[in-house]
Amino acid sequence: MANLIGDASRAVFGNVGKDVSRKILDLLGMGRGAEVTPEMYSAADKQFLMENYDLPTDTASRLERGREGGFDFDTGRYHGGFDEIEYMADPNDVYMNPAAKLEGTESGTYSGQSYSGGGLYTSTDPSDAGDNYAALTGPDVRNQVSMELDRITDSSNLYDAAEFMFDDMTEAEVQLIPQLLQHQAIRNSSIDPKDAQKVVDRYNELQAGINKRNDRGYGSDYQLRAQRFAEDEIKFGFDFAVEQEKARKELGVGPYSTQTGPITTGEFEEYENLVAEIFPKGEFPPGFVQALAEYRITRGGGQVVKLVDRVENPVIIGGPKATVFKGGRRQLDPADYIDDAEQQIDQSAYPDKIEYREAVQERAEELANDDSYNFDMEGPAVDIIEDLLDNMPDDGSVVYDNLRSTLYMHLDDYGEINAEDLEEIFRAYYNSNYYDPDQAGPGQILNQVYRNAGFDAIDLPRAGTTFGFGPTGATHRVELDPTKIRSPSAMFDPRLSQLPNLTAVATPTAVGLGALSQIDEDEEAQ
């Protein structure tokens, strides 16, 4: 799960990036690196920072600082996706939030529905990351496309191309209509991309008119004023949206002044007629929506990014080093029950002293065990189970009670429960009774529980078996702490250890699979 920081604000601000960079350097020089925010870092001019940094920026120095900070350069971790990642989102920000999207999608897939919830997913195998998560042919990507296609086809406007363009497509997607149609040539689309461009051009004209009306003619003015506010008030962690709001208030422009408003009835009818001339019956041709779904997920192509982390306490799901949670009934000492046992055992029935003492001991153990049921179960396993149940919908049904009983019976029988068994039991109950695509899935709930317990990552050593694809030897890791993962090209400045930014000055290395070995060789040479 990654936060993606666009470049729109930087384009507006001009030299603000250098000003923010100077502010960061000043704070570092004053020993106030903790005051540097992720927003400041995202807005900074990275090249300017590199050129003026107060620490050595050569590869050897950076990697040395990284190793001293606990980062593991020996285990390659690779993230496959379709976005340039500026920093990892805090998993807390996506918990139970259906509006939070899975990294690599624009719509349709909730982060709370990903297998292990919010976090940044990596694999120890670069080909696994590339083939399965950064390519349209990958099983995970195909699944995302399928879910997005389902979401689109549920739209009431699907078979009215004009309405669909205004209500369901972004402006960027509308601009791609001619290309998407070309993509569908294999599906025998009869639409000439040049004709489709006429539809796009008219759409743009209508949008321009809408924006002008909504902004009351102040569109450029408020942008200039927002820039002035940002330049005059470079604060610690300034927010462009805040500066925009200040500009709107100064101009007397409404809070939604830049959002698209309704077009007139006459304009829309005219547009529908144009669409109907180009698209048969005013509908999109077969295969177009498939192309749109593919674009929304892939945005034209994927990348593999090499990362390093300093994970200290992962929860391991399966394998020989699987995490085991201990717990159960309070262990009472049978020695404390000897007197009671002697009163209950008839010594005359045991002429042999040894047999008598054995009978007394056995009875004392029985009494101690029986008495243990007067106490609640305890131990780390109980804490995990209770937290898990607290995040379940306790709707008064027998399902909740059955899940609780199943987990505690397992704990009572074995005195422990490993993470794999815990997940298997919980996922089975949750998916069969509570599944809701618009709410947090079982993986996100488990994710929250693990973080509450102090784990900083989720390891899946049997990912190939778990997901049914990918190499069997690859271990997947879900990073849960945004401050513990970096690009190998990062600055590794300990004064900025609180930042979630992967780069810490430098840019993450996005490469083709063929170039990954060279990166490894460069690091080894250091």
Q: At what angle do helices 126-133 and 139-153 cross, to 10 degrees?
A: 20
What pLDDT sits at residue 151?
81
Domain assignments of the chain as residue spans, ordered by start = 2-135+304-312+456-525, 161-303, 329-376
What pLDDT sits at residue 315?
97
Beta carbons of 109 and 140 less than 8 angstroms apart: no
Total Cβ atoms within 10 A of residue 96: 12
DSSP 311-328: -S-EEE-SSTT--EEE-B
The residue assigned the tokens 């996706």 is 81
Which is nearest to 526 in space by CA: 67, 46, 55?
67
Q: How far is CA 148 from CA 151, 215, 409, 463, in A?
A: 5, 33, 40, 24
The residue assigned the tokens 């192309």 is 291
Give how far the C-alpha of residue 515 lies from the chain's centroid of Cα atoms, to the nearest Å. 26
pLDDT in tens, 7-35: 333 333 447 788 889 999 999 999 999 99
Beta carbons of 298 and 82 less than 8 angstroms apart: yes
Helix (H) or strand (E) holding 306: strand 303-309
**CA pair distance 489, 509, nearest whole angstrom:** 7
**CA pair distance 171, 62, nearest whole angstrom:** 42
What pLDDT sits at residue 451?
94
3-class DSSP assignment, residue 76: strand
Give how far the C-alpha of residue 444 lies from the chain's centroid of Cα atoms, to the nearest Å. 10
pTM for the model stands at 0.71
Helix (H) or strand (E) holding 87: strand 87-88
Per-residue pLDDT of the chain (526 residues; tens, 9 = 90+): 333 233 333 333 447 788 889 999 999 999 999 999 888 888 888 889 989 999 998 999 999 999 999 999 999 899 988 877 777 766 666 544 433 343 333 333 334 457 888 888 899 999 998 988 888 888 888 888 888 888 888 776 777 899 899 888 888 899 999 988 887 666 666 788 889 999 999 999 888 876 554 444 444 454 555 555 555 554 444 555 565 566 556 555 444 433 345 678 888 899 999 999 998 888 888 888 889 988 888 877 788 889 999 999 999 999 999 999 998 766 767 887 788 888 888 888 888 889 898 888 988 888 777 766 666 777 899 999 999 988 877 666 788 888 988 998 898 889 899 999 999 999 998 888 877 766 667 888 899 999 999 999 999 998 888 887 878 889 999 999 989 999 998 999 999 999 988 865 444 444 343 333 334 444 444 4
What pLDDT sits at residue 224?
54
The residue assigned the tokens 């297998």 is 115
What pLDDT sits at residue 141?
86
